[in-house]
């Protein structure tokens, strides 16, 4: 007998889909396993193409009424969703830590408050979304943002709820309806979000959640003729499949993909700050697309930088992410752990040296690793590992630093440590990246555009850029006369 509800860290979570305002079971399930101890959390409804299509149908049916809902009312409901998130913040935090292994203290203090902020921000931005009218030879141009329609949102496992709501909130604010497909390795908080949204008064069918494997239901979602927008965060190979699937109907895509971001450390930088920035890249066990995994250090300070890095990294505590003292948790899945270890073993076989780490630990933990002796064309430098593995290379000149930084197929982010403002301006202007941080890291503002260059993505979201994507922009041009009736 299939159990429809699970108890996760004392919290009840429904394991079924959420379609058209109702819980929907599947004949088959998949097992959700906690990366903390490898124990099964429970069985999750395994979606079928028919259920994916049903979710799109529910979104299509709900779209006209939601699109016609006044902006102020949509914003009110989104604020109510944020209230619900804040009310259940502790429950969301403990469930997500159990499900994906990220630090509980981070979920409590940063991630879940950010989830609520995502809804509040886009609700407020909706109310001020406007473009000043302008004239052309006496004719008035008026720009409007029309809701596009049902949107399929496919989200990753490394920050499940935060990254889901980064998409869900603007899509709903724009007047679109949503089918959310969470990653199968971390589906639980998406189910809780469905409950919270329903309690907040979001109409049935406006938000739908379908769980399962992308290989089984992905094409049914991304190739559906009634889907008007697709937003995906994940790997480049999966993005290629989604783009090919969406091509039949020319469905607009927003893709936030992988990264191999550099951290450039110049000799004039505050070395303690630079070391702090470098060690911070181990956050979430290195399972962060924005992580600056390629450390590029000016050769005159490389030895001292490395010494301080080893000392600082040695202070990190790796262990149970539910413990307050933990700095690094586990890798989410045995398959991911094997992938990380494979990258490192091949790099060591090719001549790299592990200054720290370079090996697995008990369970699903991988030791924080720093590799030196790597070449620019090596796999470990060119390919995304998505684990706690950094490489260190040196440079002599500013031109060489920029060349090395830009010499991958990615362009998601870059971080720069320097004490010279003019150098910072020169270098950032030449870096290929969607986001550049100077003497800081991971400072994110929802007003800013976010996305990647090259194979790190297509499009930008955030602020008005999100509404530009989730809406059909319309320009209405009106003649100054010709009215047979004018009621003022």
pLDDT at residue 430, rounded to an integer: 98
Long-range contacts of 432-435 (CB under 8 A, 24+ apart): 432/406, 433/261, 434/460, 435/290
Q: Is residue 42 within 8 Å of residue 167, measured between CB atoms?
A: no
User: Does 308 share its domain with 289?
Assistant: yes
The answer to whether residue 192 sits within a structural domain is yes
The answer to whether residue 157 sits within a structural domain is yes
The answer to whether residue 337 sits within a structural domain is yes
In tens, the pLDDT along 211-270 reads: 999 999 999 999 999 999 999 999 999 999 999 999 999 999 999 999 999 999 999 999
Q: Is residue 458 within 8 Å of residue 255, measured between CB atoms?
A: yes
Catalytic residue among 289, 384, 461, 471: 289
Give the Å distances, CA to CA, from 232 to 64, 240, 285, 423: 24, 11, 22, 35
Q: Is residue 471 within 8 Å of residue 145, measured between CB atoms?
A: yes
User: Does 202 share its domain with 70?
Assistant: yes
The answer to whether residue 321 sits within a structural domain is yes
User: Would the pLDDT of 485 be above 80?
Assistant: no
Distance CA 258, CA 238 (A): 11
DSSP labels, 285-335: GG--TT---EEEEEHHHHHHHHHHHHHHHTT--BS-TTSTT-SB---S-HH
Distance CA 329, CA 114 (A): 20
Q: Read off the tokens for 480.
A: 């100054």
The Cα angle at residue 328 between residues 437 and 263, in degrees rounded to 5? 25
User: Does 302 share its domain with 365?
Assistant: yes
Distance CA 430, CA 19 (A): 47
Active site residue 289: yes
Distance CA 243, CA 248 (A): 9
The answer to whether residue 447 sits within a structural domain is no
Per-residue pLDDT band for 483 (boundaries 50, 70, 90) equals: confident
Distance CA 129, CA 67 (A): 15
Interstrand relation of 40-45 and 413-417 (parallel, antiparallel or unpaired): unpaired
User: Does 299 share its domain with 415?
Assistant: yes
In tens, the pLDDT along 314-343 reads: 999 999 999 999 999 999 999 999 999 999
| HSE, side-chain direction, 13 A CA sphere, residue 205 | 16
Interstrand relation of 139-147 and 134-136 (parallel, antiparallel or unpaired): antiparallel
From the DSSP assignment, how many helices (H) and strands (E) are in the chain?
16, 22
362 burial class (0-12, 13-18, 19+ CB within 10 angstroms)?
Answer: exposed
Which CATH number does the domain housing residue 60 bear? Answer: 3.40.605.10
In tens, the pLDDT along 144-198 reads: 999 999 999 999 999 999 999 999 999 999 999 999 999 999 999 999 999 999 9
User: Would the pLDDT of 486 be above 80?
Assistant: no
User: Would the pLDDT of 488 be above 60?
Assistant: no
In tens, the pLDDT along 411-453 reads: 999 999 999 999 999 999 999 999 999 999 999 999 999 999 9
Per-residue pLDDT band for 363 (boundaries 50, 70, 90) equals: confident
Distance CA 289, CA 293 (A): 10
Active site residue 323: no
**Virtual CA dihedral for 56, 62, 64, 70, nearest 10 degrees?**
-130
Distance CA 407, CA 358 (A): 24
User: Does 34 share its domain with 163?
Assistant: yes
User: Does 403 share its domain with 460?
Assistant: no
Q: What are phi and psi of 152, to 5 degrees?
A: -100, 125
Give the Å distances, CA to CA, from 278 to 42, 112, 122, 355: 37, 25, 32, 14
The answer to whether residue 488 sits within a structural domain is no
User: Does 270 share its domain with 229?
Assistant: no
135 burial class (0-12, 13-18, 19+ CB within 10 angstroms)?
Answer: exposed
The answer to whether residue 444 sits within a structural domain is no
β-sheet bridge partners, residue 7: 12
User: Does 271 share its domain with 173?
Assistant: no
Residue linked to tokens 């079928």: 48
Give the three-state DSSP class for 246: helix
User: Would the pLDDT of 1 be above 60?
Assistant: no
Distance CA 273, CA 264 (A): 12
Catalytic residue among 96, 256, 298, 384: 256
The answer to whether residue 485 sits within a structural domain is no
In tens, the pLDDT along 50-102 reads: 999 999 999 999 999 999 999 999 999 999 999 999 999 999 999 999 999 99
Which CATH number does the domain housing residue 314 bear? Answer: 3.40.309.10
User: Does 70 share its domain with 95?
Assistant: yes
- pTM score of the predicted model: 0.95
Q: How many domains is the chain partitioned into structurally?
A: 2
User: Does 268 share its domain with 245?
Assistant: no
Residues in the chain: 488
User: Does 395 share its domain with 290?
Assistant: yes
480 burial class (0-12, 13-18, 19+ CB within 10 angstroms)?
Answer: exposed
- Over residues 296-312, mean pLDDT: 98
Q: Read off the tokens for 157.
A: 């496992």
What residues make up the domain containing 270?
262-438
User: Does 345 share its domain with 226?
Assistant: no
């Amino acid at each position: 007998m299939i159990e429809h509800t699970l108890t996760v860290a004392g919290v009840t979570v429904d394991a079924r889909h959420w379609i058209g305002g109702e819980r929907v079971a599947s004949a088959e399930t998949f097992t959700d396993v906690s990366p903390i101890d490898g124990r099964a959390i429970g069985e999750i409804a395994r979606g079928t193409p028919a259920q994916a299509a049903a979710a799109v149908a529910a979104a299509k049916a709900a779209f006209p009424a939601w699109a016609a809902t006044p902006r102020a009312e949509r914003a009110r409901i989104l604020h109510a969703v944020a209230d619900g998130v804040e009310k259940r913040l502790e429950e969301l935090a403990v469930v997500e830590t159990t499900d994906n292994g990220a630090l509980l203290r981070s979920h409590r203090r940063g991630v879940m408050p950010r989830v609520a902020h995502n809804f509040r921000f886009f609700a407020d931005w909706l109310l001020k979304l406007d473009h000043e009218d302008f004239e052309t030879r006496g004719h008035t141009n008026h720009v409007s943002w029309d809701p596009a329609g049902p949107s399929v949102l496919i989200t990753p496992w490394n920050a499940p709820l935060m990254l889901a709501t980064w998409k869900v909130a603007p899509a709903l604010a724009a007047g679109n309806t949503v089918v959310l497909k969470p990653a199968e390795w971390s589906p639980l908080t998406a189910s809780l979000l469905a409950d919270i949204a329903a309690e907040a008064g979001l109409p049935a069918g406006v938000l739908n959640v379908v769980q399962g494997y992308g290989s089984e239901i992905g094409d049914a979602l991304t190739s559906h003729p009634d889907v008007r927008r697709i937003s995906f965060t994940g790997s480049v190979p999966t993005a290629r499949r989604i783009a090919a699937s969406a091509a039949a109907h020319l469905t607009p895509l927003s893709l936030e993909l992988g990264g191999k971001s550099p951290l450039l450390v110049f000799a004039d930088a505050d070395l303690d700050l630079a070391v702090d920035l470098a060690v911070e890249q181990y956050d979430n066990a290195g399972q962060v697309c924005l992580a600056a995994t390629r450390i590029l250090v000016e050769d005159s300070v490389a030895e001292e930088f490395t010494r301080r890095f080893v000392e600082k990294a040695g202070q990190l505590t790796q262990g149970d992410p539910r413990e307050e003292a933990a700095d690094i948790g586990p890798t989410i899945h045995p398959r991911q752990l094997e992938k990380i270890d494979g990258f490192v073993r091949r790099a060591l076989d090719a001549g790299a040296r592990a200054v720290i780490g370079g090996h697995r630990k008990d369970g699903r933990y991988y030791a924080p690793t720093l590799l030196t002796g790597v070449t620019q064309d090596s796999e470990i430098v060119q390919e995304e590992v998505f684990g706690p593995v950094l490489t260190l290379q040196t440079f002599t000149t500013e031109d060489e630093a920029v060349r090395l930084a830009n010499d991958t197929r990615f362009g998601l982010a870059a971080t720069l440590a320097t004490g010279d403002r003019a150098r910072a301006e020169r270098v950032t202007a030449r870096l290929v990246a969607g986001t550049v941080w100077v003497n800081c890291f991971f400072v994110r503002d929802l007003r800013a555009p976010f996305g990647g260059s090259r194979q790190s993505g297509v499009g930008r979201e955030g602020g008005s850029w999100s509404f530009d994507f989730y809406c059909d922009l319309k320009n209405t041009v009106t003649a100054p006369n010709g009215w047979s009736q004018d009621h003022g």
